[in-house]
């Protein structure tokens, strides 16, 4: 990628030309306040914010020999800069970092994401790639960020995890689709309903329910499944997003499943009654 290559060349020149850290900053276990002062004094030698951020990224993430206190100070000072500028100066180097430093950089991205004021493809791509990181901590944080900030680029990495992963990691990926409310997931999530694992099936039904109306066809198909548990889970997922058009489906379900648990039966009858009121008023889409 031309931008990334140029950024790497630019940073290489900055590394070569950067000033040596002051003798105070080189002492082991610097006091945090002293480390920050040493860093700020060093940054004062750089003319603009972009070059100062290059130095911050070097000390905070790339230089394995940097004093730990100075490194922590650099990561803290990074938060004082314009988020978009920090993203631009740091994302080209993310894939070169150790897992520990990637996690630290992701945490800064997480803090700054709400202040970004717009869309940043490079940042979203970093989060999306990290969703399938080999490191479980990175994977977990990136998944949380993708869900919280609705990073649509995470769809395919999450899909791979949902299909290929196991255990809690697989469940986390499935649940993420519900939180993302990404309608694309309705094209593959229903296939996971045939899983032999109860937890997987329950997570898929919950995710489809969160996705909402785009998932109603898949949910309705499960209302006639031979497994009564699947029928009940499908019903519970469908009820919160029901519209007047779904009344015939509910009528048929009541007739086919007369032995519903009393609490669920009461909830379903109450929903049917409410939808019938909307139907009689000519309201197709209830706004409760």
First to last CA, the chain: 49
Residue 71 to residue 77: CA distance in whole angstroms: 10
pLDDT tens across 5-48, in order?
555 555 555 444 443 444 444 444 568 899 999 999 999 999 89
Of 146, 145, 224, 220, nearest in space to 190 by CA: 220
In 210-243, which positions are buried (b, 16+ CB within 10 angstroms) versus exposed (e)? bbbebbbebbbebbeeeeeebbbbbbbbbbebbe
Residue 166 to residue 153: CA distance in whole angstroms: 22
Neighbouring residues of 225: CB distance < 8 A, sequence distance ≥ 6:
231, 234
Q: What is the DSSP letter of 27?
A: S
- What is the pLDDT, as a whole number, of residue 25? 40
For the chain, the domains span 1-21+31-118, 127-240, 242-288
Reported as a pLDDT band with limits 50, 70 and 90, residue 239 is very high
Mean pLDDT within 101-116: 95
Q: Which CATH number applies to 127-240: 2.102.10.10, 1.25.10.10, 3.30.470.10, 3.40.630.10? A: 1.25.10.10
pLDDT tens across 57-99, in order?
999 999 999 999 999 999 999 999 999 999 999 999 999 999 9
């Amino acid at each position: 990628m031309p931008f990334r290559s140029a950024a790497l060349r630019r940073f290489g020149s900055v590394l070569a030309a950067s000033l040596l850290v002051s003798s105070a900053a080189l002492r082991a276990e610097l006091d945090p306040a002293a480390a920050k002062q040493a860093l700020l004094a060093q940054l004062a030698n750089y003319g603009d914010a972009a070059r100062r951020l290059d130095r911050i990224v070097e000390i905070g993430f790339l230089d394995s020999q940097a004093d730990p206190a100075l490194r922590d100070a650099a990561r803290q000072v990074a938060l004082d800069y314009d988020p978009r500028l920090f993203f631009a100066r740091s994302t080209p180097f993310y894939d070169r970092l150790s897992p520990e430093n990637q996690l630290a950089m992701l945490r800064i991205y997480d803090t700054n994401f709400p202040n970004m004021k717009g869309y940043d493809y490079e940042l979203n791509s970093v989060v999306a790639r990290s969703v399938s990181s080999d490191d479980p901590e990175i994977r977990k944080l990136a998944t949380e960020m993708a869900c919280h900030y609705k990073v649509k680029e995470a769809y395919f990495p999450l899909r791979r995890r949902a299909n290929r992963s196991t255990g809690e990691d697989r469940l986390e990926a499935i649940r993420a689709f519900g939180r993302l409310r990404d309608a694309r997931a309705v094209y593959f999530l229903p296939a996971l309903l045939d899983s032999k694992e109860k937890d997987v099936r329950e997570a898929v039904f919950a995710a489809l329910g969160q996705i909402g109306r785009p998932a109603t066809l898949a949910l309705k198909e499960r209302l006639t499944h031979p497994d009564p548990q699947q029928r009940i889970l499908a019903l519970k997922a469908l009820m919160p997003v029901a519209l007047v058009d779904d009344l015939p489906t509910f009528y048929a379900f009541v007739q086919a499943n007369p032995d519903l648990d009393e609490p669920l039966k009461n909830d379903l009858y109450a929903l049917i009654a409410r939808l019938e009121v909307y139907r009689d008023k000519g309201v197709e889409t209830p706004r409760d």
